[in-house]
Chains A and B, each alone.
Chain A
Amino acid sequence: MSTTAPSAPTGKGTQARTIPDLLYSADEQDLRDAVRSLLAGRADWPAVLARTETSQTYDTGLWRVLAAEVGCAGLLIPESLGGAGASFREAAVVAEETGRVAAPVPYLGSAVVATAALLAAPDAELLAGLAAGTLTAALAVPFASRPAAELPGGVRVTPPQPGDVGGQARLTGTIAGVADALPADVLLVLAASVPPDSVPPDSVPAALYAVQADAPGLTVTPVVSLDQTRQLADLALDSVPARPVVTGPDAAAAVRAALTAGAAMLASEQLGLAEKCLEITVSYLKERYQFARPVGSFQALKHRLADLWVAVLQARAGARYAAACLAEGDPDTPVAVALAKAACGDAATLAAQECVQLHGGIGFTWEHPAHLYLKRAKSASTGFGTPDWHRGTLASLAGLPGPGAA
């Protein structure tokens, strides 16, 4: 840029605009009630905690009910494909509820991230299966992936094998730390169509492929995860048969859309978790007596909880704005998602950390749910971009470049 040219007086994201409805509709409250009552019965914390120490860390039975009977799997899918034709506003409410209890279900990975990728593709066949609740899918990217220009690699297309039908491809490579892959029937894998070392990486045409979870050559290895309520998996592909879902630049766009949706809905999940941590901490501080009075009457603790309540209130505004922007396809969506993921990630980790601290000794034990929320909060804060990374995107989105940039 020429040094004589006047710099933009305001950032790109600063134009006056109307703020969408940030409240919850009556329908959204009904959906929340349905999900909350299901989860209250089937994902109370002793059950969630016990499951983290089994070999089946995902509750596939609960997921089937949530997906098919309550209809959460098809919220984002059009009615013509058997879905509910709802929007990210409703999807966000479900995320708040699964977040509240750290529910061990692949809602985020299947009903949000994989679904968003397939909607962008689009792939009617897989979407119909997802909407019906008969199919669970996961986008095979590291959970720590960011909705950035540069997408995660690691898998390439390898030569066909004798007997392969036309259109079918073979994939080889590894992807580490994938969320919600363990219970998935189908994995969506982004792969370069030529060996990545033969051409510059940014010119490698990529495609998104569907891989069956039971395909020969695919190894899915559970990872001992910081958050066992959303256990990660390492994927190894050795000439695995795959079907292309979307090819070329559209594939990368579909993955980016999925990661953006994932970051926004994860923010809502964290909002729900933060709210739950605040609630149980407030409730405990009313009951817990030391020095012959409820510890919640001490101003030092009251002020910490008041600050946490304020943080949750702020986070909710950010989360609702991101959901509303995604629902409307608003051009401010990148700003909204960055704000939401930053605010909700920080609020959730603060809430979970305060939950441990303000519970005192009991909060440090295994036999109390605080650690479930702490591990979920901290892991989710890294998932789909840390708060810090998301704030960093505002440098260009809001026109606030760093040192060295004129």
Chain B
Amino acid sequence: MTGTIDASPVSADGLRQQVRDFLASHDPASLPQVDFLRARFDAGLAAVHYPPGLGGQGLPRAMQPVLDAEFAAAGAPTNQADRNPIGLGMAAPTILAFGNEEQKARWLRPLWTGEEVWCQLFSEPGAGSDLAGLATRAVHQDGPHGGQWVVDGQKVWTSVAHHAQWGLLLARTDPDVPKHAGLTYFGCDMTQPGVEVRPLRQLTGEAEFNEVFLTGAVVRDVDRIGDVGAGWRVAQGTLMNERVSIGGTALPREGGMIGPAARNWREHPERRTPGLHDRMLRLWADAEVARLASARFRQSLAAGQPGPEGSAAKIVFARLNQEISAFEVELSGADGLRYDDWTMRRSGAVDFYGREVGYRYLRSRGNSIEGGTSEILRNIIAERVLGLPAEPRTDTKVPWKDLPR
């Protein structure tokens, strides 16, 4: 891990010095927060792996903690990354990889500072695992600067859409070609009248996500990311980042879902049975091995050996969360029959540990569906890691408009 840091042109100490120099001329206590963050971006001290001139220095991602620790020690305001998870986790890498220079200059700074929140307009009621089959239409209209696109359709499972200024939109621009070839990728202004955001209530009672109705929404052609018809390739890049980000954080032992279950076990000797004991030990062992596997994955990433283990980590994370929370409901006996709150409300984030076991049990059902179902991930592992042949398909060669639906 340290090898990566040592090999980079700027050392960790050099980076710390840059931060100290920056702080000497930008007092976090007196500057307005947004001004401080913009200046930090302009100084290349936002995200070290972003390119020079765009908030970073083209350094390895592994050096980011050095930077963040130095700013944290000075009590500087952060960009509140958890308010803009799609923007930072998916939009920024997509814009960096596929956007043009004008788009990078326009979008990245307000994205990183949190002034502009991004959401992702991919899934539709009729296109879940089969994302490339989506039906939202974008029709081109001529005009200056490449004209504009008029968009009609419905998107779903859109988190933070109600806060978002921008959406990563995947839409069908040509229904007369096979489905993967007829898609185009856009940055869509979420604040216009043609975009309606409605909360989507989920089985836990609240709404983390939204439905987004696009009715004559207008997207300028200059906000198109990648070529017309190249949307699928751009979307693949976005989704790769989604899978890498899941299961990617380091936790201490008992830091995950196993923590509350183990505490419950220790605090309630009267709830223990031989069968539950066997499951407790099995789940504890599996959770700890999964934690080690996730650490090993991060070690291999840091050593510059990116592997396909991200898909595995997500499958394991989903399975364990579901099994552990199901176990904990049973362990809780009569307490497991109570639920904390069915009230419909907006919920910004998953709160696995601040809520009761019933919520953990219900919310974790989504872990094997969101961000790629476990079944799709198994296909990906089988085909891309193990090299097994794809299933024969009937949907990839015919024009999208002729597919059964």
Contacts and interface: CB of A to CB of B under 8 A. Distances in A.
Given A22-B299, A317-B289, A302 B281 contact: no
Nearest to B280: A400
Given A339-B285, A403-B277, A305 B382 contact: yes
Contact of A285 (B278, B284, B388): B388
Size category of the A interface is 35 or more
Nearest to B300: A23
Contacts of B385: 306, 309
A302 B262 contact: no
Contacts of B303: 23
A233 B253 CA distance: 41
B147 to A, nearest CB: 43
Contact of B292 (A15, A19, A293): A19
Nearest to B292: A317
Report which residue of A339, A342, A398 has the largest number of chain B beta carbons within 10 angstroms of its beta carbon. Answer: A398
A299 B391 CA distance: 7
Contacts of B75: none
A14 B389 contact: no
Interface string A307-318: 101100111111
B312 A406 contact: no
Contacts of B387: 282, 286
B74 to A, nearest CB: 25
Interface in B298-334: 299-300, 303, 305, 309, 312, 315-316
B382 A314 contact: no
B296 interface: yes
Contact of A313 (B266, B284, B312): B312
A297 B388 contact: yes
Interface stretch (B214-222, B268-276, B364-372): B268-276
A217 to B, nearest CB: 44
Contact of B281 (A299, A305, A400): A400
Contacts of A265: none
Given A8-B266, A339-B288, A403 B300 contact: no
Interface string B112-124: 0000000000000
Interface stretch (B10-18, B160-168, B373-381): B373-381
Nearest to B250: A19
Interface in B238-296: 252-254, 262-263, 265-267, 269, 272-274, 277-278, 280-282, 284-286, 288-290, 292-293, 295-296
Contacts of A9: 263, 266
B281 A296 contact: no
Contacts of A302: 378-379, 382-383, 386, 388
A307 B316 CA distance: 10
Interface stretch (A105-113, A171-179, A388-396): A388-396
Nearest to B309: A313
B389 A296 contact: yes
A294 B252 CA distance: 44
B262 A11 contact: yes
Interface in A50-96: none
Contact of A317 (B293, B375, B389, B391): B293
A368 interface: no
B289 A402 contact: no
Given A19-B292, A317-B293, A400-B266, A395 B378 contact: no
A401 B292 CA distance: 23
B392 interface: yes
A2 interface: no
Nearest to B1: A21
B389 A21 contact: no
B24 interface: no
B389 to A, nearest CB: 4
Contacts of A335: 288
A165 interface: no
Nearest to B389: A297
A23 B253 contact: no
Contacts of A399: 262, 266
A277 B305 CA distance: 24
B390 interface: yes
Contacts of B378: 302-303, 306-307
Contacts of A7: 266-267
B262 A400 contact: yes
A298 interface: yes
A402 B266 CA distance: 10
Task: Indicate the member of A294, A339, A388 with the most B CB atoms within 10 Å.
Answer: A339
Contacts of A388: 278
A257 interface: no
Contacts of A342: 285
A343 interface: yes
B388 A313 contact: no
Contact of B253 (A15, A392, A404): A15
The residue in A15, A306, A403 that gathers the most chain B C-beta atoms within 10 A of its C-beta is A306
Nearest to B296: A22
A13 interface: yes
A88 to B, nearest CB: 16
A395 B281 contact: yes
A316 B305 CA distance: 16
Contacts of A290: none
A23 B299 contact: yes
Contacts of B288: 335, 339
A113 to B, nearest CB: 24
Given A305-B382, A317-B289, A286 B389 contact: yes
Contacts of B282: 391
Contacts of A402: 272, 274, 277
Contacts of B269: 401, 403, 405-406
A10 interface: yes
Contacts of A21: 299
B382 A317 contact: no
What are the 8 tightest A-B residue pairs by CB atom distance, in nearest-first order? A302-B382, A317-B293, A306-B378, A317-B292, A306-B381, A403-B272, A22-B296, A297-B389
19 contacts: A10-B263, A14-B252, A17-B253, A22-B299, A285-B388, A286-B388, A286-B389, A293-B389, A296-B382, A296-B388, A303-B375, A306-B386, A310-B312, A316-B296, A317-B289, A318-B292, A321-B292, A399-B266, A402-B277
Given A23-B305, A391-B285, 9 more contacts: A19-B292, A22-B296, A23-B299, A303-B375, A313-B309, A313-B312, A391-B278, A391-B281, A404-B272
Interface of A: 7-11, 13-17, 19, 21-23, 282, 285-286, 293-294, 296-299, 301-303, 305-307, 309-310, 313-318, 320-321, 335, 338-339, 342-343, 388, 391-392, 394-395, 398-406
